[in-house]
Structure 1
Amino acid sequence: MGRGKVQLKRIDDKIRRQVTFSKRRSGLIKKARELSVLCSVEVGLIIFSAKGRLYEFCSGESLGKVLERYQIHNDEENAAPKSVGGTGKKNPSEWSGLCAGPNRSLKTIQSELEAQNIENLDVTELTQLEKQLDTLLRQTRSRKTQLMMDSLTALIEKEKQLQEEKLLMEKEIAVLKVQKNKEQAEEADQQSCSANNNNNSDDNAPPRQTMLHLF
């Protein structure tokens, strides 16, 4: 009997969810590594756990370089499209500022689209509008990627700082243990010397004389 289709949904049990995350994460990283080796491609993988812990994989020198390469490629894609020529017809001026920047909200764009009556636009005007909307989408993705890169860089620096602080604390604890052991050894030596001195004093004391009374 064939295996039924597994329904994907959030695992409610916390322990099972953590175990599944650990297994699936390892499997995903393994697949990414196999893909990079078998197909000779550059792969970058970023995973954030539910608690915000970072897991990453990179087939190249560093994940930062992969993200930088992606950013450069994305910036090139974000170049403004050239105007469509050959028709001799100019686009309406009201469309020129429709997608001027990524800060324009979707509600604003929608309201302007409704106001201009999109049904009256021809193919050339619709093509230009589509390119403008596509440019806005790429700019939004580029900004999102930049923020993710900044966040990732900050997390990597924070993790490095925590590792250095951990090593420093371990060294300080080791020094304190050595000092404590040394002090305990010196104290034990002092107690031993004191006990030996007391024993020597008892051995050197004159014998007690017993007076004999003759009757």
Structure 2
Amino acid sequence: MGRGKVELKRIENPTSRQVTFSKRRNGLLKKAFELSILCDAEVGLIIFSATGKVYQYSSQDINRTVSRYRSAVGLPQLYNCHSRTIEFWRAELDSLKKTVDTLEARIKHLNGEDLLNLGLRDLKQLERQVKIGVDRIRSRKQRALQHENVYLQKKLHEVNTSSSSSAQGHTNGLTKSTVDHVPNYI
């Protein structure tokens, strides 16, 4: 009596799926072993489970089998991949060096140095950037001065209040003329 045909679809029950995986994996590994023995074939089998665990069988060294496969299908050998990696990092290094050189030149330009090789368009753009920067600096400076002025006025008010509440005639060393000469930065 033969087996019935199994419908090929994902097994929804995780326990049944794991049992089926284990049985079929073992059967596949057994078939790979038998094929290598019976037919004197070089067999390599790699299986990754759903959880990421790896199972492998190779009748020869697995690296040799993979290398042979790569050359048979025209893929670069692993040592070529290593040299490609070196080439990649060299190109990356060159790119970063160019970026550093560009940024250093830009800093020099912003400092007003090494401007002879800039054209009119570049000079106008640089001038706009410097103006924007100066405007931002002035704005920030103005806010800082306003905050400082408010702070000093509060301190002056505290000194005046404490001096008027203290003994008559003592102003903690401040006179009316001294108070009038506190700079106003606004």
Same fold (TM over 0.5): no
TM range (shorter): 0.3 to 0.5
Taking structure 1 as the reference length, the TM-score comes to 0.34
Q: Which has the higher contact order (CA 8 A, sep 6+)?
A: 1
Taking structure 2 as the reference length, the TM-score comes to 0.39
